[in-house]
Structure 1
């Protein structure tokens, strides 16, 4: 995978670092809302680079299975940035292939039902996935002079919406475990739908699910 393919990743990493280091002080946190009990547990200095959670996800255009770490920020942890590595087994390609995904999540609401259960009824975001392999390209190769292929097969941007259910553990290591599902699509599917009316929503939408483990501040 060439270095140029990671420029998008570096841009997101830079913006994430600015958000992490630009977080407000603890005394600026608002009082907890009746339903939304989220409070950001802030690190100090370089400790802000420590991941706040780990994630595992099945499907979603980032391989059959992917896993990685992420960081949350914002006064109520409403923003998350994840970095995930996935794989595509040989049965779906010519060889075992790996993917790299940078994912940005926005979680505007959280509803706490009791001490243990909380629902995030809606969240959304976008992610960028790149895949290793010489058969994938960022720009159309010269062997296609008529430009039949106008989309990169190596880099794919997605948008998504989803829901999460949280179970609070409140132990020394794990704060809560979340189960989530997402519905996503990419620019190729959207343009294909616009130019081919025979395609249904089932043809352009992708369903995925996974788990998130929220870590306590250490």
Structure 2
């Protein structure tokens, strides 16, 4: 899919994000009721050790965390607007000198979720950051002594990323699964941003990376 299409989708999401508060202001319903009319997320609060149970599963393709990544996550906040994920990915040997594992910690902020009728929902804009590390002794956090001082001013083992994205999902009304969402993200890391600042010939297309995946929201265990 062409870059112009993704740019159009992203601009449309940002426009939707800007219009939602204006629509709420024109509504005569009380603020708490206004919010719930289109945002029906509810945080399922666990007690005690149950808080360690993951609230969702994720699979992601690309994004600087391996070719494919799978993991678990936890949502929190009154409207589930915060998510923390832990993912394990892999990079096949055809994309590197040998098979590699990656490990990623990801923080998401999802300010809005719009419900359509009973089974469909959209999250027109969300953002966050993640930190990815790759397994292998040849990658380092600090510059090895064999190189001149400050020859490499960055870590080859860990990479921080920023991202924005959108999600679209539905509720299958299953006893175990609460929602299934499809998402895509545009991300970049600090090396790409530095390259953009120091090399004006680079375009946004050169420093942005596209990834997509699936999120499965789980039901709270019934007693």
1:1-218 to 2 correspondence within 5 Å? 33-218=36-221
Q: CA deviation at 1:146?
A: 4.6
Give how far 1:148 is off.
2.6
Q: What TM-score results when the alignment is normalised by the length of structure 1?
A: 0.84
Moved more, 62-71 or 133-142: 133-142
Deviations 1:4-36 (A, max 9, x none): xxxxxxxxxxxxxxxxxxxxxxxxxx6561100
SS of structure 2 residue aligned to 1:34: helix
Q: How many residues align?
A: 189
Cα distance between partner residues in 1 of 2:83 and 2:140: 29
Partner of 1:24: none
Deviations 1:47-93 (A, max 9, x none): 01100000000000000000000000000000000000000111111
The TM-score with structure 2 as length reference comes to 0.83
Q: Secondary structure at the match of 1:33?
A: helix
Larger radius of gyration: 2
Regions of 4+ moved over 2 Å: none
- Note the alpha carbon deviations across 1:115-136, whole angstroms, 9 max, x for none: 1100000000000000001221
CA RMSD of aligned residues (A): 1.1
Q: Residue 19 of structure 1 aligns with which residue?
A: none
